[in-house]
Chain A
Amino acid sequence: MSDIQVARRQRRWHIAVFLLPALIVYTAIMIVPLAQTLNLSLFHNDAQNAVHFVGIENFRTLFVEPRWAAQFWNALRNNFVFFLIHMVVQNPIGIALAALLSIPRLPGRAFYRTAFFVPTMLSFVIVGFAWKLILSPIWGVTPSILGAVHLKWLFAPWLGKESSALITVALISVWQFVGIPMMLIYAALLGIPDEVIEAAEMDGVVGPSQFWKIKLPLILPTIGIVSVLTFVGNFNAFDLIYSAQGALAGPNFSTDILGTFLYRTFFGFQLQLGDHYMGATIATVMFFIILAGVCAYLFLIQKRMRRYQF
């Protein structure tokens, strides 16, 4: 008798009702388009504009056919370089800034915190345009500043050279987004209870070694999250390259990443007409790369990470 009552009570309709709007919206604007993109990548049109199911032929074209493959692997390689620069430069700087900001009684802390975070809120178009101007060999302020300290010889048209364009764009992106790891890690650092710090001080762990031995292990999960966010952000990146280097991601495709490659293919560019099927194929590949990266993090790293309960 009582069992039946429990079962009746468990049928809680309101949960489904409350979930429904989010489910509908999420399905309509995320899941359906994603499924359609995956589906689209299995089709192609022929010369008569008739659409055929081609299976994984598009993927074979992308990976194997020399012209497509050269572009694809180039974009993928550049994307990894772009990501590595973020991991090596953006995240350590973010951690360092957060560590500095969390020093108790730091004068002007609020100002610095805001100043480091402001670029994150700027539009890509503004960032791209402003840095193009700053670095311009003709009107830019960089050559004259370098000239003032007798380092003019260091200056080069960085955005226009194959050897330096990708690094330069990546560093601009680092400048823009360093505020995000800084904020997340800053919050994590503030979340460390004073008792833990005090205990460390009692044991004589102070200064830098306190950071390395006590605080860093405690914020590792946050650093993990920051790395995943960076990974997803970088492999979805497009805007900054497009606004600074154009859709052809010059010079000679040296700044071409998957996002710009996808844009050119899907929408077309100048005389190149858009190819929705190959574009969807690239989008699918991007989706799986990001999925693989996130899964690797979840199953290999997150699982092994030790968490501390305070």
Chain B
Amino acid sequence: MTKTYLKASLASVAVLASLASFASAGAETVTLNIESWRNDDLQIWNEKIIPAFEKANPDIHLVFQPTAPTEYNAALNAKLSAGTAGDIITCRPFDASLDLFKKNQLTSLNDLSGIDKNFSEIAKAAWSTDDGKTTFCVPVASVLHGFIYNKDAFDKLKLTPPKTVAEFYQVLDKIKADGTYIPMAMGTKDQWEAATMGYQNIGPTYWKGEEGRKALVAGKEKLTDPEWVKPLQELAKWKDYLGDGYQAQAYPDSQNLFTLGRAAIYPAGSWEISQFKSQADFKMGAFPPPVEKEGDTCYISDHPDLGMGMNAKTAHPDAVKKFLAWLATPDFATIYSNALPGFFSLQSAKIDVKDPLAQEFLSWRGKCKSTIRSTYQILSRGTPNLENETWVATANVINGTQTPEEAAKHLQDGLDSWYKPDQK
């Protein structure tokens, strides 16, 4: 009795399943999963980007599946090895993705339409092999560093955005003397704030952007040289202007201190713009990292941050390529840059950005020389990892537990232990 029932139900399940597969084959809807660390952008993907793509491609259904940023790399590697990763992979810049490509987990996109035409070599550098011949992710966005300030606070204290380093400290001193605001919102608890928002923000001014970075990669300059120690010395001075207990202040704390109007200046990455705009109820402005003397060339960190590539094991390579080709079009760049002001398109074409704060950031591309974060290309390939070491060292310098000179020596020693510039 039960056996016949079981058989019957099995049979009906089989029939239903085959029917279902016929049905889906008829509509030919392909579902593609997107792996990403941008969980902040979930809404924008679901409401703006995905509908725009699906409208033009009704046969492809996209699912955006973000992970927490700090867990992304580990989670993605585990999923790729286990064969459970999504079809489309959001690519971290440089070695993390290069490694995936070398392991054949990402595919070459050289034949993708638009990849040659719409992007410059520099834009593709973060997702190309060292010889620049193969590109494996479509460059999507870069982020710029600078300082965002509370315009209402500046007006109240009759301050103007500083241009030189001396002016920068004068402004900070005035805010501190007034006492209404914490001069600068930054903490050292999460460590990367000190390295990314501090060191990589003001550093290029001292090591002269690409010139210094390339010299460091070539081994012609050392982290113990004055132009590399100077930014650390400047960071050491910052501690007097940070809030009480900044040693235990985490990244979200800093963001909240600023958006609640309790701090006047926020050392920023441009990715903050959209979140700040929705949270802060005061006017905001931005200024680039200050230069040493009036009239000096300014340098900004214009860092390729996000690309997208194809999981080599995807079951639907054609659909994925269709999506990636769409990412290389100005249509996408316009939607993306305006939905996420602060993530700037890496396409060669001029994209109109409507957000004034994002425009301000973008205008520095014309005035200042751009560079990428010094620790990202090649130099973080070995152990100890220069980027991670820089997090710790810069946090130590601001906490006052290490002098800038000691920190620089520690970083250079670590780099020397595995990096031989001539064998690159």
Tell me whether B245 is interfacial, beta carbon within 8 Å.
yes
List B284-327 residues whose CB lies under 8 Å from chain A. none
Contact indicator B102/A67 (Cβ below 8 Å): no
Given the complex, which residues of A lie within 8 Å of B96, measured CB to CB? 271, 273
Tell me whether B206 is interfacial, beta carbon within 8 Å.
no
List B253-288 residues whose CB lies under 8 Å from chain A. 253, 256-257
Contact indicator B192/A274 (Cβ below 8 Å): no
Given the complex, which residues of B lie within 8 Å of A273, measured CB to CB? 95-96, 99
Contact indicator A159/B74 (Cβ below 8 Å): no
Given the complex, which residues of A lie within 8 Å of B9, measured CB to CB? none
Contact indicator B74/A268 (Cβ below 8 Å): yes
Given the complex, which residues of B lie within 8 Å of A162, measured CB to CB? 399, 401
Contact indicator B246/A246 (Cβ below 8 Å): no
Contact indicator A269/B73 (Cβ below 8 Å): yes
Between A66, A143, A160, A253, the greatest number of chain B beta carbons within 10 A of the residue's beta carbon is seen for A160
Tell me whether B224 is interfacial, beta carbon within 8 Å.
no
Tell me whether B190 is interfacial, beta carbon within 8 Å.
yes
Given the complex, which residues of A lie within 8 Å of B375, measured CB to CB? 271
Q: Compute how far the CA of A132 lies from the CA of B187 in the bound complex, rounded to whole angstroms.
A: 14
Task: Answer whether A137 and B245 are a contact pair too, CB < 8 Å, given A160-B189, A273-B96.
Answer: yes
Contact indicator A158/B380 (Cβ below 8 Å): no
Contact indicator A271/B388 (Cβ below 8 Å): yes
Contact indicator B250/A272 (Cβ below 8 Å): no
List B371-409 residues whose CB lies under 8 Å from chain A. 375-376, 380, 383-388, 391-392, 395-396, 399, 401-402
Q: Compute how far the CA of A248 lies from the CA of B191 in the bound complex, rounded to whole angstroms.
A: 9
Main secondary structure of the interface of A (DSSP, over half): loop
Task: Answer whether A157 and B247 are a contact pair too, CB < 8 Å, given A248-B191, A251-B189, A273-B96.
Answer: yes
Nearest Cβ on chain A to B417's Cβ, whole angstroms: 6
Contact indicator B401/A251 (Cβ below 8 Å): yes
* Per-residue B-contact encoding for A114-148, CB less than 8 Å = 1, 0 else: 00000000000000000010011111000100000
Tell me whether B57 is interfacial, beta carbon within 8 Å.
no
Nearest Cβ on chain B to A8's Cβ, whole angstroms: 37
Other-chain residue from A143, A158, A268 in contact with B77 (beta carbon distance below 8 A): A268
Contact indicator B392/A252 (Cβ below 8 Å): yes
Task: Answer whether A271 and B380 are a contact pair too, CB < 8 Å, given A160-B245, A248-B392.
Answer: yes
Q: Compute how far the CA of A136 lies from the CA of B73 in the bound complex, rounded to whole angstroms.
A: 28
Contact indicator A157/B246 (Cβ below 8 Å): yes
Tell me whether B188 is interfacial, beta carbon within 8 Å.
yes
Tell me whether B248 is interfacial, beta carbon within 8 Å.
yes
Task: Answer whether A267 and B245 are a contact pair too, CB < 8 Å, given A160-B188, A252-B401.
Answer: no
Q: Compute how far the CA of A157 lies from the CA of B191 in the bound complex, rounded to whole angstroms.
A: 15
Given the complex, which residues of A lie within 8 Å of B401, measured CB to CB? 162, 251-252
Other-chain residue from A138, A158, A267 in contact with B253 (beta carbon distance below 8 A): A138
Tell me whether B243 is interfacial, beta carbon within 8 Å.
yes
Nearest Cβ on chain A to B388's Cβ, whole angstroms: 5
Tell me whether A161 is interfacial, beta carbon within 8 Å.
yes
Interface footprint category on A: 35 or more
- Can you name the residue of chain A whose Cβ is closest to the Cβ of B192? A270
Q: Compute how far the CA of A139 lies from the CA of B395 in the bound complex, rounded to whole angstroms.
A: 21
Contact indicator A275/B383 (Cβ below 8 Å): yes
Contact indicator A246/B190 (Cβ below 8 Å): yes
Tell me whether B244 is interfacial, beta carbon within 8 Å.
yes
Q: Compute how far the CA of A172 lies from the CA of B38 in the bound complex, rounded to whole angstroms.
A: 31
List B318-369 residues whose CB lies under 8 Å from chain A. none
Other-chain residue from B74, B248, B417 in contact with A136 (beta carbon distance below 8 A): B248
Tell me whether B107 is interfacial, beta carbon within 8 Å.
no
Task: Answer whether A67 and B417 are a contact pair too, CB < 8 Å, given A160-B247, A246-B70, A251-B399.
Answer: yes
Contact indicator B189/A272 (Cβ below 8 Å): no
Nearest Cβ on chain B to A295's Cβ, whole angstroms: 32
Tell me whether B78 is interfacial, beta carbon within 8 Å.
yes
- Can you name the residue of chain A whose Cβ is closest to the Cβ of B380? A271
* Per-residue B-contact encoding for A260-281, CB less than 8 Å = 1, 0 else: 0001000111111111000000
Tell me whether A156 is interfacial, beta carbon within 8 Å.
yes
* Per-residue B-contact encoding for A264-305, CB less than 8 Å = 1, 0 else: 000111111111000000000000000000000000000000
Given the complex, which residues of B lie within 8 Å of A248, measured CB to CB? 191, 388, 391-392
Tell me whether B249 is interfacial, beta carbon within 8 Å.
yes
Other-chain residue from B77, B244, B247, B402 in contact with A274 (beta carbon distance below 8 A): B77
A-B contact pairs, 28 of them (CB 8 A): A67-B383, A67-B417, A68-B383, A136-B248, A138-B243, A138-B244, A138-B249, A139-B253, A157-B249, A160-B187, A160-B188, A160-B246, A160-B248, A161-B247, A246-B190, A248-B388, A250-B392, A250-B395, A251-B395, A251-B396, A267-B77, A269-B70, A269-B385, A270-B192, A270-B391, A271-B96, A271-B380, A273-B99
Chain B interfacial positions (CB closer than 8 Å to A): 70, 73-74, 77-78, 94-96, 99, 102-103, 187-192, 243-250, 253, 256-257, 375-376, 380, 383-388, 391-392, 395-396, 399, 401-402, 414, 417
Knowing that A136-B253, A137-B243 touch, tell me 6 more A-B residue pairs with CB under 8 angstroms. Answer: A67-B414, A138-B243, A157-B249, A160-B189, A162-B401, A271-B376
Closest 4 CB pairs of A and B: A137-B245, A160-B247, A160-B248, A157-B248
